[in-house]
Amino acid sequence: MGTPLPEAELVVVDLETTGTDPAHDAITEIGAVRLRGGEVLGEFRSFVDPERPIPAYVASLTGISDATVAGAPRIQAVLPMFLDFAHDAALVAHNARFDVSFLRAQAARIGVGWPDPQVLDTLLLARQVFGRDEVRDHKLSTLAAHVGASVAPDHRALSDARATVDVLHAIIERLGPHRAGTLEDLASAHRTVAPVQLRKRHLAADVPAGPGVYQFLGEGDQVLYVGTSGDLRTRVRTYFSASERRRKVLDMLPRAQRIRTISCASALEASVRELRTIAAEQPPANRHGLKPEKALWLRLGPGAEGLRAARLARDESDGSAHIGPLRSRHDVEPLRGLLSDAVLGRGAAFEGRSPARTIASAHHEALRTVMVQDPRAVVDHATARMRRFSADGRYEDAARVRSLAETYLRAAERAARLRAIRACDLLVAARPHEDRRSGARSWELLAVRGGRFAGAAMVPMAADPLPVARSLAATGTGESALCTPMCQGYHQETELLLRWLDEDGVRIVLREGVWLSPARARFDMAQLQESYARTH
């Protein structure tokens, strides 16, 4: 039950960092090895500019100093490359909680979606396999020496990842095919299966392979839980293995009577249908996506109205503007202060000129510009304050301003992308797709109407995709009636589609309407870096 281990692709990863706190420290080096069936498929290694001094004790331990990372790419460039290298593979690390927490934190910081892969921890596995009567401890250096690893770990990312590969192979050999026959068995070798999982395991017997949505149904076909996967059979069976430890799942399984599946043309279609099913059924075991209509925006009203929080996005043809959806209501007041300071002058929000009340038409247009068209006024204001704080030794205040500026850029970028795709009546795009198991190549087609999913299809690479694209363009017309300003109420779905459209190799096949952004609307972290460099 699960993915046979010889067929599973694994990426063994190791990080070097400036410290041990993912919330405040940064990555300085990433090293990784991709494996399948014991064969090395490729390696990844890159230094990373942490954008802060590396402590002397860390430099002496790793050999990575400020000079080493001078000129290295920032995490904004390196992390997407690593995630592309690790695409669809399970991650393996020694003390994986440390490495994965840093990767997840950095992905959140730069606004990159975390794929939430299967994670294997060689530290936990080694504690089960190698007793204290055999090794004095379970450090990577100790285990590597014990198993005769071909590379000695030296606190450098790639060599430590290579040593972890040898330790992993020794663990798999020691566990044997009965305890490590599948990826899921290996991931859970240090755990035990709960009795309820054994009792309900038969529910997964008839689940088909391929992408789709699965629903755990209770008495009276009540939907208890909804999920999605690119391979339904493999994913559903993990719910009955020891790798599944989530309390909400273990509490749901006793009530489950059967599993219903909906096969889809692609993993993207499955993800969209999952969101829509969760919103419609409100299953008790799901949390994320239950109420997609709930969003929080910073809205500039029309005319003389100023900035205020809004739960609903409205049409912007009257001169209003939005940024968001915001991650937290606690972002509203700081963002309002940042924009008002940048446009109206420092302290305007506390001198009776607050854009939350009324503003002059010139100020209204300036605020709309920084929200919709050009972030430079806000970015330059923020970096000037950061420089002043740094010069005065007020580094925490400088970091606070930087974090606020990043929040503004993320919110404005989200809004810009939603605004642009909503304005396009129809978009049919295609990208090449290769089945990782069979190697078969095909075109994956996607139809989007006003930011809403309208259809998907797979076409063999040798066939002409245009007739299928025209067919998709003729279907899903009912989605247009459900479109709303700024994709309000379905922005999570739209952002899934936008990430797909950002993939390499995507080609626009058919289009009705416009899909564009203002030339200066670069709401990205590079703007902040460039502005900071200019103030030096």
Q: Are 508 and 429 in contact (CB under 8 A)?
A: yes
Looking at residue 403, its amino acid is S
- Please say if the pLDDT value at position 486 is more than 60: yes
> Residue 339's closest CA among 378, 376, 308?
378
Q: How far apart are the C-alpha atoms of 51 and 69, rounded to whole Å?
A: 9
Please provide residue 66's backbone torsions phi and psi, each rounded to the nearest 5 degrees.
-60, -35
Q: Are 135 and 154 in contact (CB under 8 A)?
A: no
For residue 42, the cross-strand partners are: 34
Higher pLDDT, 397 or 517: 397
| pLDDT tens-digit series, residues 178-199 | 778 888 888 877 776 788 998 9
Task: List all residues 6 or more positions away from 511 whose beta carbon is below 8 Å from its beta carbon.
Answer: 424, 426, 427, 428
| pLDDT tens-digit series, residues 202-253 | 999 999 999 999 999 999 999 999 999 988 998 998 898 877 878 899 999 9
Task: List all residues 6 or more positions away from 451 whose beta carbon is below 8 Å from its beta carbon.
Answer: 418, 421, 422, 424, 483, 487, 490, 493, 494, 497
Q: How far apart are the C-alpha atoms of 312 and 314, rounded to whole Å?
A: 6
Q: How far apart are the C-alpha atoms of 253 and 480, rounded to whole Å?
A: 38
Mean pLDDT to the nearest integer, 256-278: 94
> Residue 485's closest CA among 293, 327, 280?
293
> Residue 325's closest CA among 296, 292, 294?
296
Q: How far apart are the C-alpha atoms of 33 and 43, rounded to whole Å?
A: 4
Q: How far apart are the C-alpha atoms of 256 and 499, rounded to whole Å?
A: 33
Please provide residue 184's backbone torsions phi and psi, each rounded to the nearest 5 degrees.
-65, -40
SS3 102: helix
Q: Are 489 and 459 in contact (CB under 8 A)?
A: no
pLDDT band at 494 (very low <50, low <70, confident <90, very high): very high
Longest pairwise C-alpha distance within the chain: 78
What pLDDT, on a 0 to 100 scale, did the predictor assign at position 352?
A: 42
| pLDDT tens-digit series, residues 97-152 | 999 999 999 999 998 889 989 999 999 999 988 988 899 999 999 999 999 999 99
Other Cβ atoms less than 10 A from the Cβ of 170: the count is 20
What pLDDT, on a 0 to 100 scale, did the predictor assign at position 347?
A: 55
Taking 3-state DSSP, the helix, strand and coil percentages for the chain, each rounded to the nearest 5, stand at: 45, 20, 35
What pLDDT, on a 0 to 100 scale, did the predictor assign at position 84?
A: 95
- Please say if the pLDDT value at position 69 is more than 70: yes
Structural domains in the chain, CATH included, are 5-187 (3.30.420.10), 195-281 (3.40.1440.10), 297-412 (no CATH), 424-513 (no CATH)
What pLDDT, on a 0 to 100 scale, did the predictor assign at position 204?
A: 94
